[in-house]
Every structure is written in structure tokens, then in C-alpha cells.
């Protein structure tokens, strides 16, 4: 008999009644549905196909408790390193902190705490949260819904174009006595024809055991344009799981990029549903891991409407005994004719002990489609290293240049120049630190 392991819900019965909006039947149902689904599946394990390669060992073994307060708030905000932003929204241990935030003053743009929106029972927020989710494949998203409490709500009105990026900085603290888990939640609503560049960053102390279970829910209006960039650079001992969800209606466009550089076990899931004709999405990313870290990038794209287009390119560098995972599924529904869905994954292994698991999937029920997937895995080319040495470059610098070039190709896919430069700087810092280790 399979025993379902469900840590982190021990205090749920006592906690649920104290959470904001507990008197609203819709919000209570959202939380109850999350708790029920998490109990039915339990903590992710290899028998769940979507979690075949990633195991959350610390969550299984250690007595994590829900982060109950801000503790010692950080003195500085460690974001993505952007020089200029339209607004900076700061969450500490999943809770909105206006004192550390730089809030927008532009017309048509609003920011509020999720707590206040839940207490007010805002329809737009509840509707964005209450969408069909396959919790069997994402049990930690179900857990996050059970503890729905705080975070940020960002709204951009119809026709409004935000010139500079808006950054959401999710920072965690570590409790030396008891490991804690935080549940950052972000709700984004874009009106018809609205345009936004959104940058999310996740970070925490370099040392200390903590966990993050984050969910980002995005609702887009007809013809809206979103550039959505995610940076995960958690501490060395952190467990990080984040889930992004976005539905693209008619003529909407989405440009996404995921950069993962930290954590002991880190997994980022992005789920796109192409629900309107003419919608387009590009979802790219890069990752780097060393030591015994595990880095998992999982994407799911559902082509539901006809004449929709998606492209995915991911690259990774793995050193030491680290493991990288890329799972990309493209599901083409029966009526989704004349769609394009492509995916590619490339990995470099810098150690014989490193491992990469790649599982691209195509599930196609339409007959007029253009779909492809591919993957490569290999070592750094010694011929290229030798070529640079023959031009007077020392071997260490030569290898570093080739690694920077390998990841640098992905950053060229980021159309927002300031974000491209900031992400490249973060990746180069990771490579420099690796060389010094």
C-alpha cells in the first residue's frame, strides 16, 4: 500500500480560520481545494511522472514550519540588479513589505498586498486564483493554495504601457533553530492592449536551511503584451519550488525567460495556455549548478486555440555532482490547427560526475501542425580551448570565455536590454565564483 507523505499541513486546521478572507466562501473553497488535493497526492515523489527526476529530500526529512513573521528584515533588497525600474515590490518570507518597496505612481498601474485583496474579496483576484490546475502534477502549488495568505497584486489597466520594468523581489530569511517555508504569491492582471515588463527574483541568505513554495498567477487581456523574466538565486541550502501560470487570449504575446543559479534543490515550472487565436509565446532560459545541487526546469504549453505559436530554448551548465533537469511538454488540442510549437535544450557537463536528464514531449491531436523538439549534451570542446590558447589566452580564461559565450547566447533572446545585461552579469558572477572555488 502506498503511504501518502503530507508534511507541512500539520497545523492547517488551526491556521485556516485565521487566514485573510476566511469569511468569504469562495476563498475558503480555494484553500480547502488546495489542502484536499495536496492530501490526495502528498509530497512529490518519483512515482509522479512530472517529478521523476527531482526529489525534495529536505522537505521529506526536516521539520519545516510555516514562516510566521518577518523575523529580522533584510537591510538591503537583493533583486536582479536592475539600474532603473518603474516600481519595486518587496516580499519577505512571502509577505508584502511596503516599507522596502518602491511603489508605482503611474496612472493605470496599481499595487496592493494580496492580504488586503483577500480581505476585501476582490472579484478579479479571486477569479485569477480560481483556475483549473492539474494539482496531481503540481502538488506544491496545491499546498501554496491551502496557505493562501499574502503576497502582491499588480494590475495594469486597458491600453496602458509601462515603460520601465516592474520588479518583484521575493526574499527569504532563515531561522537557525527551525527550518521554515514561505509561500510568496503574485497575482498579475493585464488589461486589453496593456504592455508590461515584469521581473521576478528569488533570493535568501547564503547559509541556512529554508524553503520557498511560490506561485505566480497571470491574467492577460486581448492583445496584451508581457515580458516576464525570472531569476532564482537562492542560498546554497535552500529548497525552492515555484510555479507560474499564464493564459494567452487572442493576439496576446508573452516573452519569458527563466534563469536559475542557486538552491540545493530548485525547480521552476511554467505553464502556458494558448487559449486565443493569434497568441504567441517565447519561453527561454538558462541554468547553472555545481556541487550536489539539483536544478529542474519544467514547462508545459497547451495549444488550445488554432494559429498559435510557441518557441522554447534552454541551456544549462553542470559541474561537480550536480544534476540538471529539463522537462518540456507541448500539448496540441484537437481543434488547435495551424500551430507552431518548438523546443530545444542544450547542456554542458564540466564533470564526469554531473548528470542531465532531458525529457521533451509532444502530445498532438491535431493534424495541421509544425512541432519539433531536440536536445544536445556534451563536454566543453577542447579544440576550441586549444584554439584560444594558440591566440595567447591562458587555459582558465579560455574555458571561462567559452562558458560565458555558451550561456550568453540565451541572454541575447531577452529583448529588454537592461534585463539582458543584469542576467548576464549574474551568470558571469556565478562562473567567476566557480573558477575561484
Is 321 inside any structural domain? no
Cα(301)–Cα(289) distance, integer angstroms: 25
Over 80: is that where the pLDDT of 392 sits?
Answer: yes
Query: Which of 276, 300, 334 marks a domain boundary?
Result: 276
Is 2 inside any structural domain? no
3-state secondary structure of 216: strand
Is 370 inside any structural domain? no
Q: Are residue 271 and residue 389 in the same domain, yes or no?
A: no
Is 60 inside any structural domain? yes
Contact between 44 and 8 under an 8 Å Cβ cutoff? The reply is no
Q: Are residue 258 and residue 406 in the same domain, yes or no?
A: no
Shortest CA distance to 16 belongs to which of 2, 36, 1? 36
Query: Which of 276, 309, 338 marks a domain boundary?
Result: 276
pTM > 0.85: yes or no: yes
**Higher local confidence (pLDDT), 35 or 133:** 35
Cα(224)–Cα(53) distance, integer angstroms: 35
Over 70: is that where the pLDDT of 73 sits?
Answer: no
Q: How confident is the model at residue 126 (pLDDT cuts 50, 70, 90)?
A: confident
Cα(87)–Cα(94) distance, integer angstroms: 18
Q: How confident is the model at residue 75 (pLDDT cuts 50, 70, 90)?
A: low
Is 104 inside any structural domain? yes
Cα(87)–Cα(108) distance, integer angstroms: 13
Q: Are residue 222 and residue 79 in the same domain, yes or no?
A: yes
Count of structural domains, the chain: 2
Shortest CA distance to 360 belongs to which of 348, 371, 350, 370? 371
Is 309 inside any structural domain? no
Q: Are residue 53 and residue 186 in the same domain, yes or no?
A: yes
Q: Are residue 20 and residue 151 in the same domain, yes or no?
A: yes
Query: Which of 257, 276, 295 marks a domain boundary?
Result: 276
pLDDT in tens, 243-282: 999 999 999 999 999 999 999 999 999 999 999 999 999 9
Cα(363)–Cα(354) distance, integer angstroms: 30
Cα-only R_g, the chain: 21
Domain that holds residue 405: 381-437
Lowest mean pLDDT among 68-72, 104-108, 316-320, 418-422: 68-72
Q: Are residue 385 and residue 251 in the same domain, yes or no?
A: no
Instruction: Identify the helix (H) or strand (E) that includes residue 259.
Output: strand 253-260
Is 344 inside any structural domain? no
Taking residues 303-326, report their average pLDDT. Answer: 97
Q: Distance from CA of residue 59 to its chain's centroid?
A: 19
Is 431 inside any structural domain? yes
> Which ranges of 42-184 would DSSP assign to H, the alpha helix?
57-61, 114-120, 123-129, 139-146
Amino acid at each position: 500500500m502506498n503511504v501518502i507523505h503530507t508534511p507541512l499541513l500539520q497545523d492547517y486546521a488551526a491556521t485556516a480560520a485565521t487566514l485573510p478572507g476566511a469569511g468569504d466562501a469562495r476563498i475558503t473553497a480555494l484553500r480547502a481545494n488546495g489542502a484536499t488535493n495536496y492530501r490526495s497526492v502528498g509530497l512529490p515523489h518519483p512515482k509522479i511522472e512530472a517529478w521523476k527526476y527531482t526529489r525534495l529530500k529536505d522537505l521529506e526529512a526536516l521539520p519545516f514550519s510555516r514562516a510566521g513573521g518577518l523575523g529580522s528584515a533584510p537591510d538591503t533588497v537583493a533583486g536582479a540588479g536592475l539600474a532603473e525600474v518603474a516600481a519595486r515590490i518587496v516580499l519577505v518570507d512571502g509577505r508584502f513589505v511596503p516599507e522596502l518597496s518602491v511603489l508605482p505612481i503611474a496612472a493605470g498601474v496599481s499595487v496592493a498586498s494580496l492580504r488586503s485583496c483577500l480581505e476585501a474579496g476582490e472579484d478579479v483576484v479571486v477569479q485569477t486564483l480560481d483556475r483549473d490546475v492539474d494539482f496531481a502534477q503540481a502538488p506544491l502549488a496545491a499546498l501554496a493554495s491551502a496557505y493562501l495568505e499574502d503576497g502582491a497584486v499588480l494590475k495594469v489597466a486597458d491600453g496602458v504601457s509601462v515603460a520601465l520594468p516592474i520588479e518583484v523581489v521575493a526574499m527569504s530569511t532563515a531561522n537557525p533553530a527551525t527550518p521554515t517555508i514561505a509561500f510568496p504569491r503574485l497575482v498579475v492582471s493585464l488589461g486589453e492592449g496593456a504592455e508590461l515588463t515584469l521581473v521576478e527574483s528569488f533570493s535568501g541568505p547564503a547559509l541556512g536551511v529554508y524553503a520557498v513554495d511560490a506561485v505566480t498567477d497571470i491574467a492577460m487581456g486581448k492583445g496584451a503584451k508581457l515580458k516576464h523574466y525570472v531569476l532564482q538565486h537562492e542560498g546554497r541550502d535552500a529548497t525552492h519550488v515555484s510555479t507560474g501560470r499564464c493564459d494567452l487570449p487572442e493576439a496576446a504575446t508573452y516573452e519569458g525567460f527563466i534563469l536559475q543559479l542557486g538552491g540545493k534543490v530548485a525547480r521552476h515550472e511554467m505553464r502556458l495556455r494558448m487559449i486565443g487565436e493569434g497568441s504567441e509565446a517565447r519561453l527561454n532560459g538558462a541554468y547553472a549548478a555545481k556541487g550536489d545541487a539539483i536544478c529542474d526546469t519544467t514547462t508545459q504549453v497547451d495549444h488550445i486555440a488554432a494559429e498559435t505559436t510557441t518557441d522554447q530554448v534552454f541551456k544549462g551548465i553542470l559541474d561537480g555532482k550536480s544534476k540538471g533537469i529539463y522537462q518540456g511538454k507541448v500539448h496540441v488540442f484537437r481543434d488547435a490547427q495551424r500551430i507552431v510549437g518548438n523546443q530545444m535544450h542544450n547542456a554542458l557537463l564540466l564533470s564526469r560526475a554531473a548528470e542531465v536528464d532531458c525529457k521533451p514531449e509532444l502530445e498532438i491531436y491535431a493534424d495541421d501542425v509544425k512541432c519539433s523538439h531536440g536536445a544536445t549534451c556534451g563536454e566543453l570542446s577542447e579544440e576550441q580551448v586549444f584554439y584560444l590558447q594558440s591566440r595567447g589566452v591562458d587555459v582558465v580564461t579560455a574555458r571561462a570565455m567559452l562558458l560565458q559565450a555558451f550561456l550568453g547566447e540565451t541572454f541575447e533572446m531577452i529583448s529588454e536590454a537592461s534585463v539582458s545585461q543584469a542576467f548576464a552579469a549574474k551568470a558571469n558572477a556565478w562562473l567567476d565564483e566557480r573558477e575561484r572555488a
